[in-house]
Amino acid sequence: MRRGPSAFNIAAIVLGMGFLYLPIVLLVIYSFNESRLVTVWGGFSTRWYTSLFQNEQLLAAAWVTLRVAFVSATLATILGTLAALGLVRAGRFRGRTLFSSMTYAPLVMPEVILGLSLLLLFVSVGVARGFWTVMIAHTTLTLCYATVVVQARLVSFDEALEEAARDLGAPPWKAFTLVTLPNIAPAVAAAWMLAFTLSLDDLVIASFTSGPGATTLPIRIYSAVRLGVSPEINAISTLLIGLVATGVIAAYLLNMRRRTPGR
Amino acid sequence: MSVTGAPRPRRPWKGLGRPRGQPSSEARAALAPFLWLAVFFLIPFLLVAKLSLSDVVLAIPPYAPQLDWSDGLPGLIAFVRALDFEAYARMGQDGLYLAAYLSSLKFAAIATFILLLVGYPLAYGMAKCRPTVRQALLMAVILPFWTSFLIRVYAWIAILKPAGLLNMALEQIGLPPVDILNTDTAVYIGLVYAYLPFMVLPLYAVLERQEAGLLEAAADLGCTPFQTFWRVTFPLSLPGVAAGALLCFIPMVGEFVIPDLLGGSGTLMLGKTIWTEFFSNRDWPAASAVAIVLLATLVIPILLFQRQQTKMMEQR
């Protein structure tokens, strides 16, 4: 029996990857287009990037988005790690079923419903919508992803190590930070990055929960996109794609190197 | 697929040295996220349920009755009396909601099927590669998942629009132009494109773990490659198929961005309906009622089913 990929396998991979990447590649190429028209190639130019950095609305939105993403990802990672600890190690406790369902539900919940329900909460409490409401909404969404990522690592971590630390007299908190945390650190970092990009990317939930003055980048992009394709959107999209791709690939390479210390 | 990961054996000595009934430190650690989710996930849902029973009034927020805690118990009773199923009744009478519901199911079901047809060969091909190549390909599938959903959908507008890149390419090779943007076809393309990583990853996970020995055995026993695939590989990959389908189907039913940007005015999908009721018509009770119906008839049953399956798998 033949081991390697057959011609059919290779064709499937090439076509699949082409499908996944062609639109993104085209978008990046046309962000360097001199012409305003999408289909006319007017020569190489970085003018749309220059005009991007003069667009104050866009820059303000980008700044809001980065702050929201940073704060919510940090909070979600902390809460998610705690939730994963509870789910993996606490055994049976009262309310566990409710807790685990609440943790996983947002993963499959249509975003529109999540956004709607959070907005109703903010309205009924009478909170003005803005930075903090978007931050809370994003923390709630990304908390679940963070939990799943950390949990996957925690399951394969030998709890006996931490128990040993405790037997040797370390208080639970110390045993956790000295023994378990360094071990699950890659997963915690990955959880943070996932939470950060999800928050960076979210349009639907942010639309429901943000107010004037806290317009995020996806909301800006969305309202621009509704008016049609423009090279400026291509340019900002390219920057975002570049940012995320660099981060993800760097995290991946870092993880690889840690696993093969001999090199 | 179980999102909870593998079940771990409970240690019999766990909890020793701790007073009975005292929660462990891990259970106490889970208190913070528990409270967070209770406040920002559970309570909002109850509010949606409540609002779906309210009436529209022209004010901000546009609904009545509103509960005023200062009135005490009589206030509460009056409040409960004022709740009704009007928003649901309107939903039943207005054929548009039912049409949107059925149309969402249709879009999600067909797109899931296409995703399987596209994703399976890709995942299968990836699993056949050498481990180093596999890692790189896996990375390549995950990467688009990290890049912005909105941007990836936007990229298709430039391709599909009447004077777009697709028609330009068709003209080059002498074919008549097609008008795809703002049609259902564009929505299908967008759905399949955006959710492909979600389908490929679980499929790849099961296919990669499959033992080559099984295939060799089937071949030794006289199976043609196709028979081997159909009778061994495919049945064994069914958990991955189910996981991938589930991971794609539910969010697609409630999808908003794709039908809004790629679909036409005739494209009916529930996510879009909720959005329009909320932002354009300012009919909050109707939006809530649609959300509740979507949850009650679709999301919760599927999640319960999934839970049951996971339990059965763990018992085996």
Is residue A223's pLDDT more than 60? yes
- Provide the CATH number for the domain formed by A55-259 in this structure: 1.10.3720.10
What b/e sequence results for A221-256 when a residue is b if at least 16 CB atoms lie within 10 Å of its CB, and e otherwise? bbebbeeebebbbbbbbbebbeebeeebeebbeeee
Angstroms from A196 CA to nearest CA on chain B: 10
pLDDT at B236 over 90: no
Cis ω before B197 (30° cut-off from 0):
no
Give the domain B85-315 fold.
Answer: MetI-like fold (1.10.3720)
Percent of chain B with pLDDT over 70: 81
Q: Which amino acid is at A43?
A: G
For chain B, what are the domain ranges?
Answer: 85-315
Q: Check pLDDT > 90 for residue A127.
A: no
Residues of A in contact with B3 (CB under 8 A): 104, 107, 148
Say what the pLDDT of residue B70 is.
Answer: 63
Mutate to test the interface with A, among B2, B4, B228 (most CBs of A within 10 A): B4
Report pLDDT for A138.
96
pLDDT band at B5 (very low <50, low <70, confident <90, very high): very low
Q: Give the position of tokens 């798998």.
A: B313
Nearest CA in chain B to A122: B44
Two structure tokens written together for A194: 């996932």
Provide the pLDDT confidence category of residue A80 given band limits of 50, 70 and 90: very high
d(CA A65, CA A57): 12
pLDDT computed for residue A118 by the predictor: 93
Disruptive mutation site among A6, A10, A79, A120 for chain B (greatest number of B CBs within 10 Å): A120
Which tokens belong to A263?
A: 């090199």
- Residues of chain A with pLDDT > 90, as a percent, come to 28
Residue A143 touches partner B, C-beta closer than 8 Å: yes
ipTM of the complex: 0.84
Of A219, A210, A63, A197, the C-alpha closest to A134 is A210
3-state secondary structure of B64: strand
Closest chain A CA to residue B299: A109
Mean pLDDT of the A167-171 span: 84
Sequence-distant (6+) residues with CB within 8 A of B126 are A13, B134, B137, B138, B141, B200, B204, B207, B208
**What's the mean pLDDT in B82-99?**
77
Angular region, B23: left φ>0, alpha ψ -120 to 50, beta rest: beta
B38 in contact with A, Cβ within 8 Å: yes
Q: How confident is the model at residue A261 (pLDDT cuts 50, 70, 90)?
A: very low
d(CA A218, CA A224): 10
Alpha helices in chain A (DSSP H): 7-30, 47-52, 56-89, 96-108, 111-125, 131-155, 159-167, 172-175, 181-201, 204-209, 217-226, 231-259
Q: Which of B8, B142, B254 is closest, CB to CB, to A111?
A: B254
Least confident window among A7-21, A82-96, A213-227, B10-24: B10-24
Domain ranges of chain A: 1-25, 55-259
Tell me which DSSP letter residue B296 carries: I
Q: What is the pTM of this model?
A: 0.83
How far is B153 from B147, CA to CA, in rounded Å?
Answer: 11
Banded pLDDT at B64 (limits 50, 70, 90): low
Q: What is the pLDDT of residues B239-282, one digit of tens each?
A: 889 888 888 888 898 888 899 999 888 888 888 888 888 888 88
Q: pLDDT-based confidence at B9, cuts 50/70/90?
A: very low
Average pLDDT along chain B = 81
pLDDT at B312: 67
Q: How far is C-alpha B16 from the geometric centre of its chain's CA atoms?
A: 42
Quote the pLDDT of residue B178. Answer: 87
DSSP lists the bridge partners of residue A33 as A44
